[in-house]
Amino acid sequence: MTKLEKTTYRNRFKEAGYTDQEIEDKIQLTWKAIFVEPETKFYFNVGEDMGYMVDTGNTDVRTEGQSYGMMMAVQMDRQDIFDRIWKWTDTFMRNHDGPYKGYFGWHATLDGEKMSEGPAPDGEEFFAMALFLASKRWGDKTETPFNYSEQARELLSVCIHKGENDEEGDPMWNPENYLIKFVPDWEFTDPSYHLPHFYECFSEWANKEDRDFWRKAAAASRAFIPTSTHPETGMNPEYSYYDGTPNPVNDHGDFYSDAYRLAANVGLDAEWFGKREDYGTIIENLLTFFDGKELDDYQKYVIDGTETSEPSLHPIGLLSANAMGALALNHSELTDRIVKQFFNTAPREGNRRYYDNGLYFFTVLALSRRYRMNWTD
């Protein structure tokens, strides 16, 4: 059995005492909140064969949301929605020329007009992973762009080879240290972009000539993640330099919004590829810091835990990511408390629900053993 043929996934909700029916109800309620219920959903069908995820706080469509929607759809075995989102993305967001050729403009209007040609690498890495999983779950179609695995391999090739042989543009990963960039043109990173569990899969599924790169990228990100987190609080900045120290450019050097996702990434990497001592330290410190705090207590923090008195813009997103991070630890009273606090919190309502509920649903999937890299059991 290879390391990608995992056959058991942890049901953390069940460990916390919830019944199979309660867990299934939670999954279905959250899916409906995002994809079905008129008052709360932010997925919409477009025309006969397309669809998009709306950033309800900014009223636009982002590669982040589109790629998240595709990942949700493949985990829930909804090929119809997956194909709709992917077709809209391919039709309106893909760049066909210039220095960003092969990448996707990171946001667009609801009418499909690009608001920027520049990409955000977290979208591309989620697109590639979701496409590979679609191929594994449903098989490739012959027509473009539904030849899923070929699309994924081509996208990853662009991500790491852009700019070679006098081609315009820059790669999304630094070719010397194998770390993902915040954007291709800037030489610093976003700790929450680091998905070593995805890179492990890419190291077996990408083009053969690229697989060694992805093995090195997985190792590099696992080494980087602890350097970006505070040794006492477990918090990380939104942006950092390659050595892990906070990058305060445009006021993004604190623990806020984007930064929350690192805990979720650590939890899923531990679930898929095994617990690591350094991950456990990060999550134990983080959960200890937030233990006993309610959503109204959450705010923007300096990574050493200093309060700024600026409320968290996405408190349910923060709670969700921390709960998913609990997968990096063994079952304990501390992890039970965060899992139960999460389970008893409803999806967010209002115009900021897009980001929070995206993280919320990923956590529901992960803690119910439904966020997988295969479906062999």
CA pair distance 108, 207, nearest whole angstrom: 30
Give the up-direction half-sphere exposure of residue 160: CA atoms within 13 A in the CB hemisphere.
Answer: 26
Q: What are phi and psi of 47, to 5 degrees?
A: 65, -150
Cβ–Cβ under 8 Å, residues 72 and 126? no
* Residue among 258, 269, 284, 356 flagged as catalytic: 258
Helix (H, G, I), strand (E, B) or coil at 84: helix
64 is catalytic: yes
Is there a catalytic annotation at residue 166? no
In degrees, rounded to 5, the angle at the alpha carbon of residue 242 between the alpha carbons of residues 181 and 210 is 50
Count CA within 13 A, CB hemisphere, residue 8.
Answer: 3
Q: What span, in angstroms and rounded, lies between the C-alpha atoms of 139 and 132?
A: 9
Q: Are 53 and 60 in contact (CB under 8 A)?
A: no
Q: Of residues 55, 60, 64, 269, which has the active-site annotation?
A: 64
| Cis peptide, bond prior to residue 145, ω within 30 of zero | yes
- Measured in residues, the chain has a length of 377
State CA 146 to chain mean position distance. 22
Whole-number Å distance between alpha carbons of 171 and 163: 6
Q: Hey, which residues are catalytic here?
A: 64, 258
